[in-house]
Structure 1
Amino acid sequence: MDRAIVHMDLDTFFVSCERLTNSKLEGIPLVIGGGDRGVVASCSYEARIFGVRSAMPMKMALRLCPQAKVIKGDMELYSKLSNTVTQVIEEKAPLMEKASIDEHYLDISGIDKFHGSYKWTSELAASVTRETGLPISFALSVNKTVSKIATGEGKPKGNLQISENMVRPFLNPLSIRKIPMVGEATFTLLSRIGIRNIETLSEMPAEVLQQIIGKNGAELWRKANGIDLSPVEPYRERKSLSTDQTFHEDTTDIVFLKSILAGMVEKLAFKLRSEQWLTSTVVVSIKYSNFDTETKQCKVPYTSADHTLVRVVKELFDRLYQRRMTLRKVGIQFGGLVRGTYQINIFEDTQEMMALYQAMDKMKKRFGFDAVARGAGIILKCK
């Protein structure tokens, strides 16, 4: 049976959320993001006319569009509305995967026996807009890669249907940038050898492509040829991430304990970014040598940045560890998770910090987590 995979994407989601709460923002250039040294999280189509794009430095965005209204952003509002959209889709879709705060995949294979697949999806999109007030685009095709690319090509109002025999004609003329896994570095590398559109990429031998860009070469070749067998994963919302460490010997060494905590935060924060989560609740727990356990927690602005979370964890630990009795275990939990497609808290952090995290995460994914680490964790290797 042919697969029928839908990709649904909330249009300029952060902007649409702000306009729901303030109708005066309709029709004007609007930019969501941090301060002067921050980056653009989202922008309206009115701002895009001037060349403003997501992830652009805020200073550059305001040079291009000085009349734009800048709003810092409200992740709690965005998370709440995202969950409402998910509930509407979940009630009707046979199989749904929530890919990020504003994206969903649906597997509706076989549904055309009862309704036309495109008609059913159009009605679902209309239900989302009717019940939430948020505009949503979609595309229907044979796999996740093609449907995601098609959604982007159809925005803001055109919803596309790409049948199996139309996959290659649809993909061929597009830039390789349109393939989800192609970042700036891969695009630059391939451009240097004359590969700029998907058709040229698809005609390269997979083995050669693998030699050029590494282990992801074969996967990139498959996507360029419209091949993607990855399933739509059933939606299960993660509530928290946690880790703990029990010591071989009970200790009161504050420097050692804080270095342990810093290393634990770094691992958890890397996992947050890898799985595209932001946390809003930090919990620190300690267990004394007599097995008494104490915890403290606090709320934080949504983030997945090590430097923010390390500071909060150390402050909680200082407030928590008052008895100066030896400790046998420490633990950390990040809760109040929401989906986020950005690797750090773009509402607070600078472009330079964002670039640093992206570079570190890339090295960790390629060479292993221990390939690069914060200085605070070095003591772990010496202890």
Structure 2
Amino acid sequence: CPGIVVLEGRHEIYRCFTSALWEILRRYAPALECLLDEAFCDFTGTGTAYPDFLELGRRLRREIRDEVGLAVTVGIGRNRMLSKLAAKSVKPDGLRLLAPEEEEPFLLSLPVGKIPGVGPKTRELFADMNVRTVREFREIPLRTLEAMLGKVGAALYERARGRDTRAVHEREIPRSISRETTFHEATADRGEIDGMFTYLLDRAMRAARQLGLKVRTVKAKIRYSDWRDEEAARSFPATAVDEEVLPVVRALYRGLYARRVTLRHVGLVLSNFTPDDGQLALFDDGRLQRLHGAVDAVRDKFGDGAIVAGRAIDLLSRLPKDAYGYVLRTPSLTK
């Protein structure tokens, strides 16, 4: 592409525009859930204040264009899934209200990959079964889907019938989650460095799971004792499981640490988030997800310091520890 123009991203500017957009929505919506580039508004019980939701959609689009200068697409439906599907059908810069009597023909004509929670691998699985549309997907019994995909199969069964009980929660996906610290003394000990990266990732991934997120990019950072900084990042399939991210972190920092100089500071940044819809990778039995769910439940009750896992155990003889975990030089990680 000889004429291609590549522009640098300016996330701080994008953040300002989306914040302004969300503020307009908050003028009207009793409940608002903001994600990276979309928001869900719950207008349950507002029929008296807003008797015509199509007109409300026009008003929102008009105010956003006038005040923020952005064109937006608005989809209206009786639940979050149907509203999102309605919006996708009229992108870009469109408006659609999916009335109850339109839901059935609309859903039946959709490709099965349009059902929220059906990823590329799952779509390939159904394609091998010659199931390509929602109409064909509905022919699969609930028990068969549960046997194939577990609880995800049960969720897909409901969604293919237009049923989605997920509530709109007041939350916003962060741009990144970072955890970093300065060593009490500069070190070249690979065991200590590896243990610290393991601990920092453990804390960052727990924060992501608490927000109901999966991560798709991680960045590792190191600072030598002569104050020279190095960093590198890598992306991967979305996950909320530490064990799938830790090998990436280790490969990154081991590639960065190439000088015979001690390190004084290490850190990592998780980013490129996506909501965790409970979908598992094909042939994933969910064992690690259940393990982390159990560990998180123990930590919720007894504190982060109740369980120390993996290479982070190597830090037990090096750092003081309390109910919140290791006492680091980074206050935000101490409590």
Quickly name the TM-score band, shorter chain normalised. 0.5 to 0.7
Match of residue 123 from structure 1: 59
**Which of 199, 206, 216 does residue 142 from structure 2 map onto?**
206
Match of 1:155, as an amino acid?
K
What 5-or-longer segments of structure 1 have no aligned partner? 1-61, 285-295, 322-330, 344-359, 372-376
8 A contact 1:190–1:196 mirrored in 2: yes
CA distance in structure 1 between the partners assigned to 2:199 and 2:282 by the alignment = 19
CA distance in structure 2 between the partners assigned to 1:125 and 1:302 by the alignment = 37
For CA contacts below 8 A with separation 6 or more, give which structure has more relative contact order.
1
Offset at 1:117? 1.6
Match of residue 103 from structure 2: 167
CA distance in structure 2 between the partners assigned to 1:133 and 1:255 by the alignment = 52
TM-score by length of 1: 0.56
CA distance in structure 2 between the partners assigned to 1:333 and 1:145 by the alignment = 34
**CA-to-partner distance for each residue in 1:289-328, whole Å, 9 max, x for gaps?**
xxxxxxx9x998998786579639x87x95537xxxxxxx
CA distance in structure 2 between the partners assigned to 1:77 and 1:301 by the alignment = 23
Offset at 1:240? 7.4
8 A contact 1:176–1:197 mirrored in 2: yes
- Spell out the pairing of 1:138-217 with structure 2 (5 A cutoff): 138-217=74-153
Change (3 A) 1:195 1:242: same
8 A contact 2:107–2:160 mirrored in 1: yes
Match of residue 275 from structure 1: 213
Offset at 1:281? 10
TM-score by length of 2: 0.64
Residue 70, structure 1, aligned to residue 9, structure 2? no
Q: CA RMSD in A?
A: 4.7
SS in 2 for 1:69: coil
What 5-or-longer segments of structure 2 have no aligned partner? 237-244, 293-308, 316-335
Offset at 1:182? 0.9
- Spell out the pairing of 1:93-104 with structure 2 (5 A cutoff): 93-99=29-35, 101-104=36-39
**CA-to-partner distance for each residue in 1:32-85, whole Å, 9 max, x for gaps?**
xxxxxxxxxxxxxxxxxxxxxxxxxxxxxx5xxx64433343323222322222
Match of 1:138, as an amino acid?
V
Match of residue 262 from structure 1: 197
Match of 1:320, as an amino acid?
R
Residue 311, structure 1, aligned to residue 253, structure 2? yes
Residue 320, structure 1, aligned to residue 255, structure 2? no
Change (3 A) 1:338 1:258: closer
CA distance in structure 1 between the partners assigned to 2:235 and 2:215 by the alignment = 7
8 A contact 1:243–1:332 mirrored in 2: yes
Change (3 A) 1:340 1:79: farther
Identity %: 21
Match of residue 288 from structure 2: 368
Offset at 1:173? 0.7
Offset at 1:114? 2.3
Residue 87, structure 1, aligned to residue 13, structure 2? no
Number of residue-to-residue matches in the alignment: 271
**CA-to-partner distance for each residue in 1:321-349, whole Å, 9 max, x for gaps?**
7xxxxxxxxx9685xx9875599xxxxxx
Offset at 1:362? 8.1
SS in 2 for 1:97: strand
CA distance in structure 2 between the partners assigned to 1:164 and 1:184 by the alignment = 29
Offset at 1:268? 5.0
CA distance in structure 1 between the partners assigned to 2:79 and 2:7 by the alignment = 36
CA distance in structure 1 between the partners assigned to 2:230 and 2:13 by the alignment = 16
